[in-house]
Every structure is written in structure tokens, then in C-alpha cells.
Chains A and B, each alone.
Chain A
Amino acid sequence: MLRRHFLLASAALFALPAHAQTAWETVLAEAKGQTVYWHAWGGDPKINDFIAWVGEQAQARHGVAVAHVKLASTADAVTQVLAERDAGITTGGAVDLIWINGENFAAMKDAGLLFGPFATGLPNWGLVDVAGKPAVVTDFTLPTDGYESPWAMAQLVFEYDAARLPQPPQTLAALKDWIIANPGRFTYPQPPDYLGTTFLKQVAYGTLADPSVLQMPVDDASYAAKVAPMWAWLDQITPALWRAGKAYPQNEPALGQLLADAEVDFGFAFNPGRASAEIAAGHLPDTMRTFTLEGGTIGNASFVAIPFNAAHQAGAQVVANLLLDPEVQARAQDPNVLGFQTVLNLSSLDTSSRARFDALDLGVATLAPADLGPALLEPHASWMVRIAQDWIERYGVAQ
């Protein structure tokens, strides 16, 4: 509905002169001179720099300015849009573009707070590797339906210092043995933190008798029996965790800091290039390496979405499309910049675009795409909610 209104309005404004414009040209024309307020997590200066660079590109190529609204949590932007809706603001909203995925997307889509569908109409959509990377259209088992556009792939990798730990464990069982043999040297971010919950899901993949149930909504009747092996695994390692499980790091950067401070021997990250990038920046020793577990690790995509009441929806679409540009994608994959995995199908690119990716030096700690192993699909969002909730009851409140 909104999409139709938008097109009608655009048509009324721009199509009245008799020359024919494609829908995208209309968007470009409307976007020119707009300032897109991109609400994105602002906790990492490298990401902030990248967004600033994207803004320069948008300005140079399309005359669209980008203002990065740095958030402590993506949910702040959701709250903002919700507050606007509650206040009756249906146009001219403050949020134009949100870096989003998972729960936040599910909540906004469900509440009808999103503009779209727009993603599949973007000119660069054809370059996206939908077949090879199903996570670009399935966000935590929820079909994106074009209400968000992907811009980066992520896959869980484990980080370790090869100087301290020559042979890291490659399976969940071996990891458990290692943790128990080395008390105080392993931890994970405290659920419901995103990365912490991802670790729990990884444990679920490795311990559940039939991991395929994770792709369906939680079935209340069989839930307890199905996840019992996961809790058993966690019960065994918890006394041997960092601080004996009495405290947990809050999030991915906090865990990364513990690894840098040598308080723990393992970090993990959704960005396979994080370790290399941190080495390049001089924040981690160059003996850091990464590995994934046998059988694969969880992978997902990062998206951008546009609120239903965004003031600059045309500009926001232009930025979403720009993010899928091969030059921008190659820059994001450069470990000296971000080290994010591309969402594009490299074989569909022309030679010069392809060359940009081939020229990248992924860095000493980054696994080649072939060595990453399979990317396991994210479980249904109801699992994340349920497991995080139960985790809080089991481990989240001091006894």
C-alpha cells in the first residue's frame, strides 16, 4: 500500500512532464539533495568510517548526503519509529535508514513499521547471490519479502592466539574438554546479547539430536526434551568458565577486549575478517588466527530497512542500492576497511568488478572463503527468544 502511495506521489510530482522516466530515475531525481539519516550502531570507528565513506560516494554519485546517527543499540531506532507512530507522525519521520536484522526486523515488519517492498526493485539487486547465500532473503527464517536489502554477510568464526594455543579444538566436544581442562580461560557474551545467543545456537546445532527442528518455530510440547543436551553441555562448562560464570562480558567488543587483554584464550566474531583487521590496526598481536567448527558455523546477513514514515525514502533507496555496488562491496570486504563478506555473486560480476575482489589481501588471520566451511542458517527467531529467556533463568540470576 505504502509503496503504491509513494509511487503515485512520485509520479504526480515528476512524471507530469511528458518525457518518460523509469521508476528508478524518478527515485534518483527525488533523492537528489536529500539528507538520509542512517541509524546504525556506532560502537566501532571502522564501521563509522565506512559509513562516512559511503556518504561521500552517495554525495558524489547521486547528490545524496548521508548523516550517520550513531546508536548504542539498533533497538533505539525501532523505539524512535514506534514513538513517532504513537505520536501520530506518519510522514517526515526522523529515521530514514536502519542497519537491521533478526529480531528488530521481525518486530518492525510485524508491526507494519517498514516501507516497502523495495529491495528487489533496486537496480543492483540482480548482482546479489540469492541462490548461493540464502540468508540474504531469509532473515532468521523470516522471509524478507523485499522489506530490507542486504549489504554484508557474516559468519561465526572463533579467534585464538596461535602463540598461546597452537592447536585449537575443532569440534564442540573437543571445545568442552578444553574448557574444563583450562578453567577461567573461556567465556561468551551474556545472553540476550546477540553474539552470546548465537553461541548458544551454535551449541544447539552441535548437541541437538536433530538440528533441523531449529528451522521451525519452537514446539512447546517437545521443547524441553529437545534442548536438554544443550543445557547439559552448558552445565558442564559453566563452573570452568571465566570468573566461574559469575560474570559475563556484555557483547562482542567486550569479549574482543578480553581476548586482547589475554583474560581469555578464545574470542569469536560474526565478522571473519575482524581478527585480521584488528591486527592491521595494531590492536591484536599478529599471532592471532581464526577457525570454524567442523560441520559449519552460523551465518547471516546484515540488512538496511526504511521506516514507513521516513522523510527521505527516495534517498534511502539510493543508499541501499549504492551499498550493493561492487566497488562498495569490495571496499567493505577489504580487511583494512571492514573485512565484511560480500553479498554479491562474484561470478555474475564483470571482469573489472571481479578484479577488485581478487586483488584483496584478506589478511593473515582470515580464512579463505573455501575454508570457512558451511554457513548454517539461523534458527527460527522463536528459538533465540526462548533459549535466551531460559538461559537467564538458569544462569542469568545469581543463586
Chain B
Amino acid sequence: MIMAGLLRQAPRITLALLTVPVLAGLAGTVIPAFANDAKGIQALLQWPGLPRAAGISLVTGLGSAALSLAITLLPVASLWGTRAFAAVQHLLAPLLSVPHAAAALGLAFLIAPSGWIARVLSPWATGWTQPPDLLLLNDPFGLALTLGLVAKEVPFLFLMALAALPQTDAARRMQVAQSLGAGRVASFAVSVLPSLYRQLRLPFYAVLAYSMTAVEMAMILGPTRPYTLSAQVVIWMADPQLTGRATAAAGALVQVGLVLGALGLWHLAERLAKSALIGLAHRGMRGQGADGPANVIAALLGGLIGGGLVFGLAGLALWSFAGLWSFPDAVPASLNLNTWTRAAPDLAQTATLTLGIAALATLLALALVLACLEAEHRFDLVPGAGALWVLYLPLLVPQVAFLPGVQVAALRAGMAGHWLAVAAAHLVFVLPYLFLSLAPAYRAWDRRIAVAGAALGATPARVFWHLRLPMLLRPVLTASAVGLAVSVGQYLPTLLVGGGRVETLTTEAVALASGGNRRLIGAYALLQMLLPALGFACALLLPAWAFRHRRGMAVAA
């Protein structure tokens, strides 16, 4: 009975867990903006870079998020169900776990005028004996930053799309549409996209908010005159004059407003796209001719994104073994293990702690999410729109806008600096991603199976443990792997709540990134990928093994 009571309260407990830290942190961070006659806001308004920094944040955020969505949907539309698609699926998981800083540095080394591509082509094809003076990185329009964000967000959206697809009844819908004479892409757009997008919307909003507020990537690839607003806020926070913290608070406030504005703009775009799609369907669009070009574009874009990430990281990996590697040599003059042997003891210890924090945060989050979803199911609770927004809260409110407040609260509670406190802070971020990733599959589970179970005398608990959970093994593991990856990648929460004492692979890698040491960053980035990649490998392989005798549980194609 107590358990049932607790279960019924699970959604409330979870929502409180998400709201309290974010809102309290937000208050603690933003109030300094208004202190001392709003000095912080005055200082912000006097900063000459404000319009441009805010504009760049908005444009790169919206642009990269929209591009990411397009690049995610196109291959799904044109390749889904093919062999190539299955291959892409297996490649993606490890890429998802690439930390932003590592992805940015890898990409930077690839495309810089002295980067790998230029080195491979020089001097025989380009005639360059020294790197050309070309503004490819840190360009004032944020193109390099947009590219980096897209490369990093597509794998996430793609994985979310894969998780959502089985709930859209895509195969049969596509069949019907295609039998009516529509091309693959047109069939997808009219029959699958509407229900797929409904499930992708939440992850997409998170991507939009994240892209606008990304810090590490903006510092490495983004414009520097001025920086993006989010990067500048972090720089102000670190201002030794201490007055910068009020300016940072004001900047964080503007950042929140920008994110809200962008979400509003996007919502408008959603409505326009909806009516356009309905119009096309009414006019009987078949779009047979669109398939060929769409295939080519999908392959090109997918290749570009995947290639950029893979070769960028391969470049970093090579650097971790490199001796002297001067321009224009395509490969290092010598290879050695110095970087790895020097870093090995640190790496082992840090990796263990990182994994421990990630495992704890993920397990807690998984238990809470399952409890919420099961409560929803058993007590016929219908989550309101408000509950959904609460779920997004930690992903939508810029991290720089509420984490400093959380840091002070953690210090007051005497919790700061302990790895358990860091795990608790991670929980706030892991929980929404895990929920977003698991809920669609959980809710789509056929309730008639539970009815059948109950008719045979099974208690709700038995139905849960023996029917529902085993049948949902694949989405549960995938969601856990996402949670693991999210935790491993957290930078600001670890730094602030850990008080600098809790060192994870990511805090180490970002500290190293400030020193630009490609060799050591390569070593850390490889490990940082490896941990979550193991999680995703489990999510793919474990169900395949567990269900090897269950044809009905095979990956739907």
C-alpha cells in the first residue's frame, strides 16, 4: 500500500526534483543582475558587443537546430529500411557520446588552413608550403560554429528519431502512400512526418536551446569579436574583478529571453509548415522526382557530418600518438606513446569516477522515470502541458543562468565538492533526456497485453516486472545509454557543484582544451567517447542476444 502511495506520488516528486533546483538556481543567479541599482544590467547595456553577440547566438542557434532537423529527417525519409540505414544506425551511437569540446577541436583541426585537409592536399595540389591566411574558423558569421553544432546535434536527433519511428507505424503508412503513387520522400512527408515530428518536438526544442547557449563549442569555433553571448557570460563569470558576476547575471537573463524568443519563432514556423504540408497533401503531391535528388543530398549531408566528426576525431586520436607534426606533413614525422603513458594513471582514476557518477545518476533517473510512467499507466494520470514544460525546464533554461545559484545552494548545504552532489546535479539533466527518450516507447506499449495478463491473475507489479519491462528492454537500455552519455558530457554542473574537486573526463578535457594541447585532448576525447559507446553497444547487443529466439522482438524494419 505504501509502495502504491509512493508510486502515485512519483510524478510529483520527479517534477519537484526538476523545478526546485532550476527555479531556485535561476533566482540565485539572476537576482545579482538587479542588485546595486541594476549595475549589472547597466554594464551589459554599455557593452558594445551586445547586439552582435545576441544576434549571433540567435542565428547560429536557430540555423544549426533547423539544419540538424533537416539533416536528420532527410536520411530517415530516403534511406529508412535499407541496409545503409542499419549501418548508419550502428555508427551513430558512439558519435552521440563525443563531448562537444572534443568534437569542436577535432573539426577545427580538420578544416583550419593548417588543418588535416590542407595538409593532405599540400603542397602537391595547392602549392601551399605554409598555411594560407584564410578565415575558416571563428568567422564573424558563425558558420564554423553552426557546422560544429550541426555535426554534434544530428546524431542525437537521429537517435531520437530512431526511438520514435516504431511508434509511427511508418512501414504500413509508407506502403499505403507509395501504393497511391507517391515517391518515398513525399510519402514520408505526408504520412509519417506529422506523427514523427510530434515525438521529436521535445528533443528538438532541447537541441535549439542548447545550440543557442553552447559554451565550449562557441569558444573553440565561434566568432571572437565579440564572442557569442553564452561564451561571454562565462567569461564575465570568471572575471577577476568580481563585478563581472553582475554583468554575467544580466547576460544570463537576456540569454533566457533569447531562448524564449527563438522557441516562439520556431513555433510560428511549425504552424506554417503544417498548413503547407496539408496543402500539398490536398493537391495530391506525389513527388516521384524528388527521391533521386533527396537520396543524393541525404548521402552527401550524412557523409559530410559523419565524415567531419569521424575524421576530426581520428585526427585527434592520431595527435595523441604524434611526435613532431609540422605543416604540410599529412602524417606525423614520428609516433610515440609519451602522451598515453604520461596520462595513464590520471586517465584510469578519472574514468572510474566519471563512470560511477554517470551510473548512479542514470540508475536514479531510470527508477524515477519508470515510476512516473508506471504511475501514469496504473492510475490513468494524464500529464498536462505544464508537466511537459517542467520536464524541459533544465534543458531550456540556459545552464549559465541557473547553475551558479545551485552552486551557492550546494555550498550552503555543505554538499559541494562531493561526487554524490555532482551525481545529484547530473540527475537534473539526465532525467529529462532519459524521460524524453523512454516515454514514447513506454506509452506506445500495447495495453491489451496488460489486460490479458490481469485476466490470467497477474498483479500490476507482476505485469510490470514480467511483461512490460522485458518487452521494453530495448528502449530502456537505449534511454539509459543516452542518460549515461548525458552525464559523462556534463561540464558546468560538474565544475560548479564539484567545486573543482570532482574531476571527470569532461572537466579534464575542457581544462586541457583551454591549453590547446591536441595530443592530450586526443587521449581524453577517445576515452570520453569510449564510456558512453560501451553503453550504446550494450543497448544494441543485449536485446539482440536476449531476444535471439523471439522473432516478434526483432528490430522492426
Contacts and interface: CB of A to CB of B under 8 A. Distances in A.
Interface stretch (B191-199, B273-281, B500-508, B533-541): B500-508
Interface in B119-176: 130-131, 133-135, 137-140
A397 B326 contact: no
Interface in A27-81: 37, 39, 41-45, 49, 67, 69-80
A261 B118 CA distance: 11
A367 B328 CA distance: 29
A87 B408 contact: yes
A395 B501 CA distance: 37
Interface stretch (A4-12, A219-227, A240-248): A240-248
Contacts of B336: 282
A393 interface: yes
B132 to A, nearest CB: 8
B53 to A, nearest CB: 9
Interface string A130-164: 00000000000000000000000000000000000
Contacts of A283: 324, 519
Nearest to A246: B135
Contacts of B114: 258, 261-263
A253 B224 contact: no
B58 to A, nearest CB: 16
B219 to A, nearest CB: 7
Contacts of B419: none
Among A78, A87, A89, A185, chain B packs the most CB atoms within 10 A around the CB of A87
B516 A256 contact: yes
B112 interface: yes
Interface string B234-257: 000111111001000000000000
A74 B411 CA distance: 20
Contacts of B517: 43-45, 253
B184 interface: no
Given A43-B511, A69-B500, A83-B407, A284 B240 contact: no
B511 A72 contact: yes
B511 A397 contact: no
A97 B4 CA distance: 51
B501 A67 contact: yes
Interface residues of B, number: 62
Nearest to B239: A75
A166 interface: no
Contacts of B134: 243
Interface in B416-432: 416-417
B223 interface: yes
Contact of B242 (A37, A107, A285): A107
Contacts of A107: 240-242
Among A75, A185, A251, chain B packs the most CB atoms within 10 A around the CB of A75
A339 to B, nearest CB: 16
Contact of B225 (A185, A261, A397): A397
Interface in B486-525: 495, 499-501, 503, 507-508, 510-520
Nearest to A184: B133
Interface string B443-464: 0000000000000000000000
B500 A393 contact: no
Interface residues of A, number: 68
Interface string B218-233: 0100011110000000
Nearest to B114: A261
B500 A71 contact: yes
A72 B510 contact: yes
Given A76-B495, A397-B52, A42 B324 contact: no
Nearest to A94: B499
Contact of B49 (A67, A75, A392): A392
A45 B412 CA distance: 34
A73 B234 CA distance: 11
Interface string A241-275: 01110111011011011101111000000000000
A275 B407 CA distance: 40
A261 B130 CA distance: 9
A232 interface: no
A257 B516 contact: yes
B388 interface: no
A276 B514 CA distance: 22
A310 to B, nearest CB: 13
A26 interface: no
B5 interface: no
A82 interface: yes
A108 B233 CA distance: 21
Among A72, A84, A94, A281, chain B packs the most CB atoms within 10 A around the CB of A72
Given A45-B342, A49-B342, A76-B500, A190 B408 contact: no
B156 to A, nearest CB: 25
A84 B223 CA distance: 34
Contacts of B226: 392, 396-398
Contacts of A104: 240
B181 interface: no
A282 B334 contact: yes
Contacts of A371: none
A111 interface: yes
Given A243-B134, A283-B324, A397-B226, 6 more contacts: A70-B507, A103-B241, A183-B133, A190-B224, A262-B327, A263-B114
27 contacts: A37-B501, A39-B500, A41-B514, A43-B511, A43-B512, A44-B515, A72-B511, A78-B240, A87-B408, A94-B416, A103-B240, A111-B242, A185-B133, A190-B225, A243-B134, A246-B225, A253-B516, A257-B516, A261-B327, A262-B114, A262-B131, A282-B324, A282-B338, A283-B324, A396-B49, A397-B49, A398-B223
Interface of B: 48-49, 52, 112-114, 130-131, 133-135, 137-140, 219, 223-226, 237-242, 245, 323-324, 326-327, 334, 336, 338-339, 342-343, 404, 407-408, 411-412, 416-417, 495, 499-501, 503, 507-508, 510-520
